[in-house]
Structure 1
């Protein structure tokens, strides 16, 4: 269980875009070490080395511009045929605890923390505790139950997660919880996410996309616009 302030977040950014995002969320993530992954997509028929020769200077300028003036940010530039494999590899190489996906934000007032089960809860809790410790934000622990009969177990799960957060010294008054009854947990999370500044989700397996995060998280990542941290399930 990583201590608060000793977590590393990977932030992938497409440096081939003409108008890259400002990524103000990097300032929100100041409690953590950040690895900024600038990736340049290479067409399947092209050689990465040739694309690198042509575009490396511009890509480096873009990446440096995003990282400029921000402490605790390191960066790596990669020309790649496969974004997802590159994200996975760099996350392993830099021992990253979580990966940022989706949008941007310049403030951190409310966190949505969906909890699906006991898998990866300790790592999710450590990330949430770090975010709360480094800000004045509040958090909502969220569970989607398939029917009313599962409401009680869902409440028990969230109360246990809250206790783990208080073990980190987080004031219980800064954390509430909600159990929603929904046939589709992804839809329930997507419906709630716009009211929050950041969503914190957890993998159930140590990898990325279908073979890593599974159907539910893949569906969320494809649709969500709220900045989202995917907490990796790594030992």
Structure 2
């Protein structure tokens, strides 16, 4: 068993052994299966949005959520660069076909929030397009909620040294070559620009209908476990443990405007 050690720095979190992580992940995945059975039985629609910096761990979390779920009622959506035609469409148009229907759980591994993040930072949209998006997205998400879609939004936040380490590891790993993109090479260079874009996005698109939750993701294992715990804790389903399921409040933090002035979000 891996010897337990403590991370350094303010608000540091304890390490978790591989065996304990696997045991807890299995327990939570059993609960996810229960949740999906209830979603199917009740014709519910669940949409989970995973956002965050490059290498924040979105792929890994999506993989652990869907690993043992029914592929017929579960989809992970990770759209690529829009085509010329899509660039001329209403911005939300290419996302709409992927929204969940009754009995479905859909995960967006990056979403329409690309416009508030990478498109804003890299100049892939105009100021007018960006502003129109920021005004429209709360209205769009309110319509989704009104249609019966349960929307869960998570922002995975990592530190600059951790991002650099993960991007370096990605370039060296022959099994992760598919993850490498031209954007990776400038992610660290534009760190502060991404921080400003993140703060503006959270402040302007956090609503009572579609609130954001921040996931401190430097520790991949703790991020995965606690995001799943948070997801399960916020949705009722048959067979849920009587004592409930609660995330570690140091790992998953409900967003509030005051957070942008603290050290909780990586600067």
> Shared topology, TM-score over 0.5?
no
- More helix per residue: 1 or 2? 2
TM-score, normalized by length of structure 2?
Answer: 0.28
TM-score, normalized by length of structure 1?
Answer: 0.31
- More strand per residue: 1 or 2? 1
